[in-house]
Amino acid sequence: MWLPVFLLFVLLGMGRAGDTKQKWEMRERACMDMAGIFSELHGRVSAVEESEGKVQITLEENVVRPLAGGGEGRSFSMSRQIPCVLVSWKTDATEDMPDARDFKIGSNVTVRGKLELFARARNPGEFDSRSYYRGQGVDCRMYGEEAEISGGDVSPLPELLRQIREKAKQNIMRSAAAEDAGIFSAAVLGDKKALDSEIRDLYQKNGIAHLLAISGLHLSIIGMGGYKLLRKAGLGYKGAGLAGTAFIFCYGAMTGGSPSVVRAVVMMSTGFLASYLGRTYDLLSALSLALLMLVWETPELLTQGGVQLSFGAVFAVGSVLPVIQDYLGKGRKILGALAVSAAIQLVTLPVILWDFFQFPVYGIFLNLLVIPLMGGVICSGIGTALLGGISYKAGALAAGTGHYILRFYGWLCHGTERLPYHTLVMGRSAAAAVILYYMVLLVVLIGMKRAVGKRDEAEKKREEVKEKQEVKEREEVKGGIEGDEIIGMAEKSRPIWLRTALFFCICVFLPCILMPRPVDGMEILFLDVGQGDGILLRSGRGAMLIDGGSTSEKKLGEYRLEPCLKSCGVSVIEYAFVSHGDLDHISGVRYLLESCEEIEIRNLLLPCQGREDDALLSLAELARARGTKVSLIEAGDSFYMEGIGVTCLYPGISDLPADKNEESEVLKVDYGNCHILFTGDMSGEGELRLLSALSEKPGVLSEIQILKTAHHGSRFSSGETFLDALGVKWAVISYAEGNSYGHPHKEVLERLGDRSVKIYGTAERGAITMKTDGKRVRWKAFLD
């Protein structure tokens, strides 16, 4: 019966997902039609948040009407319906927006502004805002310029819960220390906006960031605590269960109703129902019910890492943990606690690597220390939220316990970071490796289960023999021999220390399946950094970086460069070449040296003519502080790594560049018969000087097949004489869409087109990947 039932649910899921996909495509088309047009949006308020001078409201059931011409050939004969829009504005930016306190959940609002689509990921490892908000059911965003509240029926309960949340947040912020208040708000109220970014990163790197998200741990403390109090107060299972269910539903709605909260609420409510009905509570059944309820409404949630981790951890506790406990033997507290952490880690490791690209080695042990104390933090946060409304001193007193626990957490995390191999950057595992990992894990669990079965069978036979010995005293000799044989069988089962050692080896070697594999041939990744340059070269297990900066992306290093490097499994950059000192070539490299401890740059190579450039001198100082070797390179210098040869062609020590752009390193990369030229921001004059310097070696440039176009496609670069001297078949232009410089210029595109050069632009196609074995070249664009 189970196979047809399973297939039925698969078909239902496929049908539901297909239907949802079609609806989302229609919604996206409506958003694209209205994007960038000054419009009037009329909708109903479903959520209101205010933090650090910024107001954000969520509007549902929206009707959008353009207030200006379509532009770009677009025209509108009617309004558009967009189900959910996120509207935000700064409180001090305009006087035409009402105060946040004037907005009530359920009220109707008219907002004017320009709709914007959420950003897509444009590089490997980059966060995809559009996919995330799609999972939240949000279509697009608008920066509000004018707003009017136009009546509507206020929803009493949601509005009351919102006001309670805001009041509790104010009490916490007033009574607790700033660094503690952010954690209390996140752990108790589900509000992470006040969370210090350094604390969030610290917890993330140490594998305890789950403590900052409301989940089953938090709800079990709050919900089950209330349920037990009601039972002790004399309420029966029915009354306590109904009251407990109503309370956790309200609490879940107040904290924002994230997927992990919904999961915990559904599972806990199922437990109350089971208690009331006198039935057995089955964890996996409750988990499946919660998952079905969530993804039936929004199937896209299945693709989100937070949902996968939340459900994966509970699945591990319900299915994998019992097998491990039976294998290791129950009744051992320390071993049992380790088994819980190990089970969760084994199940969720591929998800962690897929979304975060690195593995906190000591996280499994750190969680053993921090999780038992989290109840104190939550109770302290609740006490602060409640007592802070009475007086500042009462709230501060309640925050005291949590304060010292959080200081202990910080001490543990900082201490752990000083240990060797604290964090392993493993990259995003290939899909085939993830499938193989789970198949091997399944085989291991089956083997453990069979070993337990044999051990139990031997134990059962030994008990039977003992009974026979007591009953049949006359057959003492025969029974004794049989007993010795069976007891010997039982004694041959692996002792506890051996089983523990075997399990430890499994936990160590199983993740090796997910380790990054060496790159076959050479791979060059031209990152989409906006208005700037960033190129990653890899071969075998080695990596090089040529430039890494942007003027359009202010946090390029944090949001694009670092995630990309980590997703590729790059923790060591052997050589980092900086063509010259402009911000659009160094900002990301500076971030890696200044703020990214997990990625090491061993050699920083600067242009010899930039030795007096303040930006390069500052970069060199940062590098030396990190233990990076800094060198000035000139024409003729060569470097080799895993089959890749890099030669500096320009400038020489005797060259006198006219400006900073003319200081740019010109690098020739060779791998087999594949030859690429990187020209930085060199102009036409510099190109002519390069041709003159290499006039006696014409073959150096004529064999170039791939050109990293100079200065983002400026009209003053890539001149006809220069292009004629090359054998270019492909060109890559790195630039930001709609940049104020007009890059790439029409003249450059025409000059390349006249020579039948295939052009790849990062603004149109995202990151560009080129792979070669030294004989053939393959191209792939990220957005394709």
Q: Is residue 178's pLDDT more than 80?
A: yes
The pTM assigned to this predicted structure is 0.89
**pLDDT value of position 762:** 96
3-class secondary structure, 413: helix
**pLDDT value of position 71:** 44
Question: How much of the chain exceeds pLDDT 90, in percent?
Answer: 53
Q: Give the pLDDT confidence of 511-520 residue by residue, as tens digits.
A: 999 998 999 9
Token pair in block for residue 71? 């532009």
Please tell me whether the peptide bond between 4 and the residue prior to it is cis, using omega within 30 degrees of 0. no
Please check whether residue 149 is in contact with residue 107, taking contact to mean a CB–CB distance below 8 angstroms. yes
Please check whether residue 717 is in contact with residue 751, taking contact to mean a CB–CB distance below 8 angstroms. no
Task: Name residue, tokens 């088309």.
Answer: 29
Section 676-683 average pLDDT: 94
Confidence class of residue 474 from pLDDT cuts 50, 70 and 90? low
Section 233-254 average pLDDT: 81
Please check whether residue 596 is in contact with residue 566, taking contact to mean a CB–CB distance below 8 angstroms. no
Q: Put the strands of the sheet holding 572-577 in their side by side order.
A: 629-633, 600-607, 572-577, 542-550, 532-540, 519-526, 768-772, 777-781
Confidence class of residue 609 from pLDDT cuts 50, 70 and 90? confident
**pLDDT value of position 491:** 43
3-class secondary structure, 125: coil
| 519-781 and 23-153 share a CATH fold | no
**Measured distance CA(169)–CA(184) in Å, rounded:** 9
Q: Is residue 487's pLDDT more than 60?
A: no
**pLDDT value of position 77:** 55
Q: How many CA atoms lie within 13 A of 469 on its CB side?
A: 17
Q: Give the pLDDT confidence of 685-699 residue by residue, as tens digits.
A: 889 989 988 888 878
Q: What are phi and psi of 739, to 5 degrees?
A: -65, 155
Helix (H) or strand (E) holding 112: strand 108-116
Token pair in block for residue 103? 């907005």
Confidence class of residue 476 from pLDDT cuts 50, 70 and 90? low
Please tell me the CATH code under which domain 519-781 is placed.
Answer: 3.60.15.10
Q: What are phi and psi of 558, to 5 degrees?
A: -75, -40
Section 322-346 average pLDDT: 84
**pLDDT value of position 454:** 86
**pLDDT value of position 661:** 84
Strand ranges (DSSP E) for 615-701? 629-633, 638-641, 644-650, 666-671, 674-678
Token pair in block for residue 625? 């502080």
Average pLDDT, the chain: 88
CA angle 363, 364, 365 (to 5 degrees): 90
Which has the higher per-residue pLDDT, 459 or 686?
686
Helix locations, 302-391, DSSP H: 305-315, 321-328, 333-356, 363-387
Q: Give the pLDDT confidence of 569-592 residue by residue, as tens digits.
A: 999 999 999 999 999 999 999 999
Task: Provide the angle, in degrees to the nearest 10, between the axes of the packed helices 305-315 and 259-277.
Answer: 30
Please check whether residue 741 is in contact with residue 769, taking contact to mean a CB–CB distance below 8 angstroms. no
Which has the higher per-residue pLDDT, 273 or 225?
273
Please check whether residue 744 is in contact with residue 713, taking contact to mean a CB–CB distance below 8 angstroms. yes
**pLDDT value of position 490:** 43
3-class secondary structure, 357: coil
**pLDDT value of position 481:** 45
What residues have CB less than 8 Å from 468, skipping those under 6 apart? 475, 479, 482
Task: Name residue, tokens 């410089």.
Answer: 741
Q: Is residue 234's pLDDT more than 80?
A: no
**Measured distance CA(125)–CA(398) in Å, rounded:** 41
Confidence class of residue 42 from pLDDT cuts 50, 70 and 90? very high
**pLDDT value of position 587:** 96
Structurally, what CATH architecture does the domain formed by 23-153 represent? Beta Barrel (2.40)
Q: Give the pLDDT confidence of 151-175 residue by residue, as tens digits.
A: 778 888 999 999 999 899 999 999 9
Section 588-612 average pLDDT: 93
Per-domain residue ranges of the chain: 23-153, 161-304+361-431, 441-514, 519-781
Q: Which of 330-344, 379-393, 419-433, 710-724 has the lowest mean pLDDT?
A: 330-344
**Measured distance CA(346)–CA(342) in Å, rounded:** 6
Kindly report the number of other CB atoms within 10 A of residue 596's CB atom: 18
Helix locations, 233-282, DSSP H: 237-254, 259-277
What residues have CB less than 8 Å from 771, skipping those under 6 apart? 521, 522, 523, 524, 777, 778, 780
**Measured distance CA(701)–CA(727) in Å, rounded:** 8
3-class secondary structure, 204: helix
Which has the higher per-residue pLDDT, 605 or 234?
605
